[in-house]
Amino acid sequence: MEEKMMIIDPHVHMTSRTTDDYEAMAAAGVVAIIEPSFWLGQPRTQVGSFQDYFSSLVGWEPFRASQFGIKHYCTIGLNSKEANNEALAEQVLELLPLYVHKENVVAIGEIGYDDQTPAEDKYFRAQLELAKELNLPVQVHTPHRDKKAGTIKSMEVCLEHGLDPSMVVIDHNNEETVKEVLDRGFLAAFTIYPKTKMGNERMVEVVRKFGSTNIIVDSSADWGVSDPLAVPKTASLMLKRGISREDVRKTCYQNALDIFGMNGKMKESDWLNPSGINQTQLFNDNSVLRGQEPKVDTDKIV
């Protein structure tokens, strides 16, 4: 039997997902994930809500992932939608430096444009400057409306601020935008949505046409209709449709590791030599269990 492929999902909002999702992802080969800072479906009204959210992305959520054998990393940033509340946005920007150095923070993100308003532009640029100053990769959310123009504008602004395109992942691509992104030397990520937008059948054809260099597959699963297994499912569909194992490995694992591993916090040894699941552990006195027998990989504990 062929060895099971390791998968990284570099864009998944696990805060909105269940422990069943974590179990299914681990069973499907997901070894590591990146959770971008995002909005919550309704706008936050106070800076403290951002602070607690960022704290959960560097605290509780990595613990929760560890309880199911998955390494959790995150990106920190002010999302485009909430950039439009300028009074709040100013305060959120002041918070960011408190989080960017935490041990699981691998990039600034997800930032960019939603409606392409002047406020979105202002805070996108401010955060690009922060990324440049810290030499951190950037994860860019491109708008779902007016996608192609918004994607091109996002890249032009990155270049204007002197960012190296090989440090910037442009996400939510489709067949219309991928060539522009790759031609400019940026990484092109694809969010695989069930039923709509970018589906995994289409992803297979993108890889067939453009190859695997600088292309990344993610799920962007969150509180909306989405699939936290989108990356492993796309990987197996690619293999079934004759895409080479090496191309699948690059698009569903290695390319994400190469860019998000740049600052040295995300590294293969984190999951190649796991300490094993130990559900007797607690986080601030809290467990993920509700009276179940804790799972402990005793054989792996050194």
CB of 35 to Zn ion, least distance (A): 9
Q: What is the maximal distance between C-alpha atoms in the chain?
A: 57
Return the number of the residue (75 or 254) whose C-beta is nearest Zn ion: 75
- Residue 39 as a binder of Zn ion (CB under 5 A): the answer is no
Residue type present at position 124: F
**Dist CA 143 CA 80 (whole Å):** 9
CB environment 194-233: b (16+ within 10 A), e (fewer): eeeebebeebbebbeebebebbbbbbbbbeeebbbbbbbb
Q: Does 193 bind Zn ion (CB under 5 A)?
A: no
User: Which residues, at least 6 apart from 31, have a Cβ–Cβ distance to it below 8 Å?
Assistant: 6, 7, 8, 70, 71, 271
Q: Does 174 bind Zn ion (CB under 5 A)?
A: no
Q: In this chain, which stretch among 16-24, 199-207, 216-224, 239-247 interacts with Zn ion, using CB under 5 A?
A: 216-224
22 part of the interface to Zn ion, by CB under 5 A:
no
Choose which of 30, 35, 38, 216 interacts with Zn ion (CB under 5 A): 38
| Residue 6 structure tokens | 């390791």
CB of 112 to Zn ion, least distance (A): 10
CB 256 within 8 A of CB 191: no
Q: What is the smallest separation between the CB atom of 215 and Zn ion, expressed in angstroms?
A: 18
CB of residue 34 vs Zn ion: minimum separation in angstroms?
10
Residue (38 or 253) nearer to Zn ion, CB: 38
- Count residues binding Zn ion (CB under 5 A): 2
- DSSP letter, residue 14: G
Q: In which element (H, E) is residue 198 found?
A: none
Nearer to Zn ion, 38 or 260 (CB): 38
Tokens 């708008």 belong to: 143
Per-position x/- string for 222-251, each x denoting binding to Zn ion as judged by CB under 5 A, each - no binding: ------------------------------
Asked if residue 260 binds Zn ion (CB under 5 A), the reply is: no
Q: From the CB of residue 166, how many other CB atoms can be counted at a distance below 10 Å?
A: 14
Report angle CA 79, 82, 84 to the nearest 5 degrees: 120
Interaction of residue 200 with Zn ion, rule CB under 5 A: no
Q: Does residue 220 bind Zn ion (CB under 5 A)?
A: yes
Residues that bind Zn ion (CB under 5 A): 38, 220
